Amino acid sequence: MTDTQHPRITLAPDFFAKADADRARIQADQKADFQQQLSEARTQGGAYVGDGPIPPAQGALPMPPGFVGALAQYIYQHAPRPVAEVAIVGALGLMAGVAGRVWYIPKSGLNLYVVLVARSAIGKEAMHSGVNTLVQAAREFYGEAELVTDPSDFASGQALLKACAHNPCFVNLAGELGHKFALMAENRDASMRSLRKQMTTLYSKSGPDGVAGGISYSSQENNVESTQAVAFSLIGETTPGTFYESITDAMMSDGFMSRFCVIEYLGDRPARNRAHVDRPPEALVRHLATIMQHAGKASAIDVFQKVEFSPSAQSLLDLFDEECDAGIVGQDDENLRQLWNRAHLKALRVAALLAVGDQYLNPVVTEEQAAWAIALVRHGVAAFDKRIRQGDIGEGSDGGREQKVLDLCREFLLLPSEKLPSWLKHGKAMQDANIVPRRYLQQRTQRLAAFERHKLGHTAALNMAIKTAMTNGNLIEVKKEPLVEQFSFFGQAYRLLSAK
């Protein structure tokens, strides 16, 4: 049996050069066609024209202005239990998934990481359902609308990079982010370490000059090619306890958390929406689909568009930049420094997304858009600042732990009678005397990161916090005799001296 003989193929010396020339000619033709379509579109406007002013929605944050506000308003009206903050996160995430790559500001694309922090059972799932309904409605006008979102639960950095190589602009609709952060914080799982590393890196790879990926493995099928201008965005939700307890000092100091816009909803479960809106307005969907289609064509041929800033918007954002600098300069606590590290960049990106939504062909940030973006970022900084100072985040500081102990003392003194611990015989009388049992403080700090993760352990951290509070004149230990005689209490207790 003889081997099959194959004819030898000889390629001309200029074969590959001709192929490259043909590819360049095709790309040039595509760009010329796109520019022609762009010129025609500009003659028709491109601005979003809504049905009227956006009605107000109850929440700590007002709805965004313009088109993004209209998206948020629909998500709000679509929700079974409407919460403004839930709707805002969904609208910003969707807009970032659409516009994060093609439009840019100096040295940055417009991708966002946004996390909603709220108690359970308040209707956080409306963020996902509202976005999905808008995307499905947009498919009627643009067949590839679903590419702007991805609900995948990425299990490693490699999986995330592969998804970005396949689709360089999308928003990941994540579920419970707090649990994933907790896995990252443990630092035992190599896959979670790589995921955190790639998420940290990808945040800054969305500009036209950004390049992401480029990982080689011994097994070639696992290799990941490098990709230009990857705009990976992420929105997710979590509960306060799960989220804040999962954050370590390392996650703060290495800049991972400074990349996130945190939107916190402190309210309770809202009433059921009796005027539920199912289908989004056609004008809203058509404009969304038009931006999607424009972004898809521009991205395919790597055409990028810069977002400009009006003089008044630029002035406002420059002042905010100085505010961010003031929050960093002279601050010794690394966690507090990181709060302001990327605050200005986040405000720029959010403001630019609002401008793209309103006029995607010639986006110019207005003063109103800049002011709203700054307010959003300040909201997140304030929420984080409060949690850090209370000792809810990371290993905490001595001052933060002392403040947390004092807050828990005030919490005990304000407990209604029916919520007082059952092991207290005369709890109300102790409250009237401003006396707080140590056992209550011990139980309430048991799972707090600032105490639980202390290098000397929870009990030592609590002892030091109480001692600091006593040294500073905020607490005094109550002698055992009056505790037994007046309150039939045989444990340690402290009288709160400070009213604030």
Q: Write the DSSP string, 406-451.
A: HHHHHHHHT--GGGS-TT-SSHHHHHHTTEEEHHHHHHHTTT-HHH
- Locate all alpha helices (DSSP H) within 437-489, ordered by sequence: 438-444, 449-452, 458-471, 480-487
pLDDT at 396: 66
Same domain, 430 and 348: no
Cα(256)–Cα(330) distance, integer angstroms: 22
User: 126-149: per-residue pLDDT in tens?
Assistant: 999 999 999 999 999 999 999 999
Bridge partners of 342, per DSSP, are none
Question: What is the bridge-based pairing of β-strands 260-265 and 113-118?
Answer: parallel
Residue 20 resides in a domain: no
Same domain, 465 and 378: no
CA 63 to chain centre: 17
Residue 280 resides in a domain: yes
Q: Which of 384, 484, 496, 383 is nearest to 440 (CA)?
A: 496
Cβ–Cβ under 8 Å, residues 404 and 392: yes
Tell me: pLDDT of 242 over 80.
yes
Domain at 425, CATH number: 1.10.10
Residue 300 resides in a domain: yes
User: 188-209: per-residue pLDDT in tens?
Assistant: 889 999 999 999 999 999 989 8
The region of weakest confidence among 10-14, 45-49, 476-480 is 10-14
Residue 71 resides in a domain: yes
Q: Which DSSP letter does residue 125 get? A: T
User: 31-90: per-residue pLDDT in tens?
Assistant: 777 677 666 666 666 788 766 555 555 567 899 999 999 999 999 999 999 999 999 999
User: 374-430: per-residue pLDDT in tens?
Assistant: 999 999 999 999 888 777 776 666 777 888 899 999 999 999 999 999 999 999 999
pLDDT at 11: 60
Residue-range definition of the domain harbouring residue 123? 49-390
75 HSE (CA, 13 A, CB side): 32
Residue 236 resides in a domain: yes
Same domain, 159 and 217: yes
Q: Which DSSP letter does residue 147 get? A: G
Residue 360 resides in a domain: yes
> Looking at this protein, which amino acid is placed at residue 274?
R
Residue 247 resides in a domain: yes
Considering its fold, how many domains does the chain have in total? Answer: 2
User: Average pLDDT of the chain?
Assistant: 89
pLDDT at 218: 44
pLDDT at 19: 63
Domain at 356, CATH number: 3.40.50
Of 367, 390, 413, the residue at which a domain comes to its end is 390
Same domain, 303 and 178: yes
Same domain, 420 and 335: no
Same domain, 211 and 155: yes
pTM: 0.82
Residue with tokens 């905020």: 474
Same domain, 481 and 367: no
Same domain, 189 and 274: yes
Cα(386)–Cα(474) distance, integer angstroms: 20
